[in-house]
């Protein structure tokens, strides 16, 4: 029996899917594999997309100008294990760790992951993915909430995250991982209205 969670309740299942199974899914759907279960989140709303575009553009510009590494947007497969393949909204991989970038996907933990809150994904981003990213060694994790106009920066401490800061609309976010990167949140949230 194949384990899926495609937006509907299903019977208990016994078989975990693997990355090999994941590769057989349609490539025109934004699927993720979490602990061997396929999930299909709904398309993000326009506020989410607006924040992703604005923040992603600024991150990419900063990283490119400093020749610091690479920024990717969803959908980009990040293979964290044989049973965990995610597609974060934004991710950064440092130049020193560029070896995890392949032509097909990312093989390992990015240095920084950004998830932008949607009603349909918030619980998973704040619990399942938070634990998974910490277990797999993602150094910095941002949870961005367009509705509340906040960004929570979490830093990896051993095998779990500690909150570094919560930034609100009008405040300037800084990143411990991307030293020198700053952005006034009003610049990313103004387009989400």
Query: Tokens 């989140």, residue?
Result: 41
Residue 39, pLDDT score: 83
How confident is the model over 162-166, as a mean pLDDT?
A: 97
| Average pLDDT of every residue of the chain | 90
How confident is the model over 29-49, as a mean pLDDT?
A: 84
Residue with the larger pLDDT of the pair 177 and 7:
177
Structure tokens at 192: 């989400």
Provide the percentage of residues in the chain whose pLDDT is more than 90: 69
How confident is the model over 25-38, as a mean pLDDT?
A: 82
Identify the burial level of 147 via C-beta atoms within 10 angstroms of its C-beta, where 0-12 means exposed, 13-18 middle and 19 or more buried: middle
Helix/strand/coil percentages in the chain, nearest 5: 25, 35, 40
pLDDT tens-digit readout, 105-120: 999 999 999 999 988 8
Distance separating alpha carbons of residues 24 and 141, to the nearest angstrom:
29
The answer to whether residues 51 and 89 touch, using CB atoms and an 8 Å cutoff, is no
Q: What are phi and psi of 122, to 5 degrees?
A: -55, -50
The yes-or-no verdict on residue 128 having pLDDT over 80 is yes
Q: What are phi and psi of 6, to 5 degrees?
A: -100, 50
> Is the CATH code 3.40.50.920 the one for domain 42-192?
no
Residue 14, pLDDT score: 65
What stretches of the chain show up as alpha helix (H) in DSSP? 19-22, 46-65, 122-126, 128-136, 186-189
Distance separating alpha carbons of residues 85 and 31, to the nearest angstrom:
9
User: pLDDT category, 12, cuts 50, 70, 90?
Assistant: low
How confident is the model over 76-96, as a mean pLDDT?
A: 97
The answer to whether residues 144 and 115 touch, using CB atoms and an 8 Å cutoff, is yes
User: pLDDT category, 193, cuts 50, 70, 90?
Assistant: low
Distance separating alpha carbons of residues 18 and 54, to the nearest angstrom:
34
Residue 9, pLDDT score: 45
The yes-or-no verdict on residue 8 having pLDDT over 50 is no
Torsion of CA 50, 56, 61, 63, to 10 degrees: 170
Residue 160, pLDDT score: 95
């Amino acid at each position: 029996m194949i384990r899926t969670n495609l937006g509907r309740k299903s019977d208990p299942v016994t078989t975990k899917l693997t990355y090999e199974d994941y590769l057989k899914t349609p490539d025109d759907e934004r699927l993720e594999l979490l602990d061997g279960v396929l999930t299909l989140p709904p398309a993000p709303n326009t506020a989410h997309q607006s924040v992703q575009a604005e923040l992603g553009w600024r991150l990419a510009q900063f990283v490119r100008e400093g020749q610091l590494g690479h920024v990717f947007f969803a959908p980009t497969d990040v293979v964290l294990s044989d049973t965990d393949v995610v597609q974060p909204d934004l991710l950064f991989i440092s130049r020193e760790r560029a070896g995890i970038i392949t032509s097909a996907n990312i093989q390992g933990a990015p240095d920084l992951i950004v998830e932008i809150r949607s009603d349909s994904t918030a619980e998973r981003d704040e619990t399942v993915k938070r634990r998974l990213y910490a277990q797999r060694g993602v150094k910095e994790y941002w949870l961005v909430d367009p509705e509340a106009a906040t960004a929570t920066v979490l830093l990896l401490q051993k095998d779990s995250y500690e909150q570094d800061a919560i930034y609100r609309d009008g405040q300037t976010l800084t990143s411990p991982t991307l030293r020198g990167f700053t952005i006034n949140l009003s610049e990313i949230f103004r387009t989400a209205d």
